[in-house]
Amino acid sequence: MLLATPAAAWDTTVEQAPQAGLIYEVKIGGLQHDPSITANRKEPFTTDLNLEVMFGSSLPILFGTVRPALGATINFAGFTSKAYLDARWQVECCWGAFFALGIGAAVHNGELDSLATAQDHKQLGYRVLFHPTAEWGYRLTEHHSVSIFFEHISNANTSRQNEGLDNLGIRYGYRF
């Protein structure tokens, strides 16, 4: 047994699991800005661009993995845009389906507490807000996926102004 151990160490035919790189997956999509499904819709209907990078480092938790995600949701009509950093827990399910939940922080360029723009801009209270997310998707191949993505920003009632802002849409993902 002791003689076989060094020989096994030199065996190069054993497959190794691929090492995670710096970037695990990139995603791009179109999101409806402040959709009418929410009760307090205020900012006009526009489409936002969402870009996201999920990093390779991960932590296995409860049938899934937690990865850091860095992204931005950009509104080109002059309303609230944001950049965010989240911890994203994702479960890969059967037949290519996946589900993800995330929580993190977002910094935005929207209004804080201004009565002058209260007609068509959300009053968000603070510049840095909580950023919970949910995503449901399907992995078309090993590398390609499509998903429905929901994100919310809010100060969780820690400020007098807390109208919150939601986005909902479709994203395409490419996993490396």
Amino acid present at 98: F
In terms of Cα–Cα distance, which of 131, 135, 117, 130 is closest to 159? 130
Q: How many other C-beta atoms lie within 10 A of the C-beta of residue 128?
A: 12
Cβ atoms of 129 and 111 within 8 Å: the answer is no
Q: What is the pLDDT along the chain (176 residues), one digit of tens a residue?
A: 333 434 434 343 333 334 568 999 999 999 999 887 656 667 778 999 999 999 999 999 999 999 999 999 999 998 899 999 999 999 998 899 999 999 999 999 988 876 655 567 788 889 999 999 999 999 999 999 999 999 999 999 998 888 889 999 999 999 99
pTM of full prediction above 0.95: no
Query: In the chain, at which residue ranges do the beta strands (DSSP E only) sit?
Result: 23-33, 47-55, 59-61, 64-75, 82-92, 97-108, 128-130, 133-139, 144-153, 165-175
